[in-house]
């Protein structure tokens, strides 16, 4: 499949959120990526269900919601109700991983598991056939605009090998420090979904930036 682009709304101009939503709707982007932070699991606070619900009303593409929160299972139903189509939560925040994966799937959403930079992909071996997506954090979660962690290439390769070995249909998403300089290499390593925030929204023409990421040579 052709790789997907999921602009990170964390980097958009929230004073003109409607304009950013319309731009993504009319671009070659595939998903909206929404980062939910609680100030506990990560040292930052972003937005919650009301903003997700507002974006859902205007969005013409799926909402890819990434929970960076403690006890994520408490909020699966809330984010389903707010409009999430794909819901990812952290391995590091989930005590009962298999149960949480199926709690998300049983609500009618795609289930993703996220790994922090220090977390070994081999820890997902027992659930890789159950999960719909694995999100590799290629920066330490909490803030946008950070530099890409080079070890992420090795992790992505190891994850892709595991997926193929287990005949899993899981997609690989990467978030953090994605730029025009490394996007092609990430896709070559096996990434299916590129999340990009600063690279898109700091560009003079965000629509053109999305097109450039989508049409990698």
Per-residue pLDDT of the chain (217 residues; tens, 9 = 90+): 799 999 999 999 999 999 999 999 999 999 999 999 999 999 999 999 999 999 999 999 999 999 999 999 999 999 999 999 999 999 999 999 999 999 999 999 999 999 999 999 999 999 999 999 999 999 998 766 678 999 999 999 999 999 999 999 999 999 999 999 999 999 999 999 999 999 999 999 999 999 999 998 5
81 has catalytic annotation: no
Residue 59 structure tokens: 């969005």
> Tokens 């962690």 label which residue?
149
State pTM to two decimals. 0.96
Sign of the four-CA dihedral 79, 81, 83, 87: positive
Q: Which of 30, 64, 175, 192 is catalytic?
A: 175
CA 193 to chain centre: 8
Element (DSSP H or E) covering residue 21: helix 17-25
The SS3 assignment for 82 reads helix
74 contact partners, CB below 8 Å, separation of at least 6: none
**Domains defined along the chain, listed by start:** 4-214 (3.20.20.70)
Kind and range of the H or E element at 97?
A: helix 97-106
Catalytic residue among 30, 35, 38, 192: 35
For the question of residue 175 being annotated catalytic, the response is yes
Q: Residue 4 corresponds to which tokens in the numbers above?
A: 């997907």
First-residue to last-residue Cα distance in the chain: 15
Task: Say whether 11 sits in a helix, a strand or coil.
Answer: helix
Q: How deeply is 198 buried, as exposed, middle or buried, from its count of CB atoms within 10 A (0-12, 13-18, 19+)?
A: middle
Nearest to 114 by CA among 56, 178, 12, 41: 41
């Amino acid at each position: 499949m052709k790789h997907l682009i999921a602009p990170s709304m964390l980097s958009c101009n929230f004073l003109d959120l409607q304009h950013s939503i319309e731009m993504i709707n009319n671009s070659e982007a595939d998903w909206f990526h929404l980062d939910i932070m609680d100030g506990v699991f990560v040292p930052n606070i972003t937005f919650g269900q009301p903003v997700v619900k507002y974006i859902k009303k205007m969005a013409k593409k799926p909402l890819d919601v990434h929970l960076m929160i403690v006890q994520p299972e408490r909020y699966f139903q809330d984010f389903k109700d707010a409009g999430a189509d794909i819901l990812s939560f952290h391995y590091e925040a989930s005590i009962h991983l298999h149960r949480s994966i199926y709690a998300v799937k049983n609500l009618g959403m795609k289930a993703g598991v996220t790994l922090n930079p220090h977390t070994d992909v081999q820890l997902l071996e027992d659930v890789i056939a159950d999960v719909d997506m694995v999100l590799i954090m290629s920066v330490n979660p909490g803030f946008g605009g950070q530099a890409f962690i080079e070890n992420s290439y090795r992790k992505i390769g190891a994850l892709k090998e595991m997926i193929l070995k287990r005949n899993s249909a899981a997609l690989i998403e990467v978030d953090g420090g994605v730029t025009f300089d490394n996007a092609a290499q990430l896709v070559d390593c096996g990434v299916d979904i590129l999340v990009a925030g600063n690279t898109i929204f700091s560009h003079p023409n965000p629509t053109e930036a999305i097109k450039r990421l989508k049409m990698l040579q």
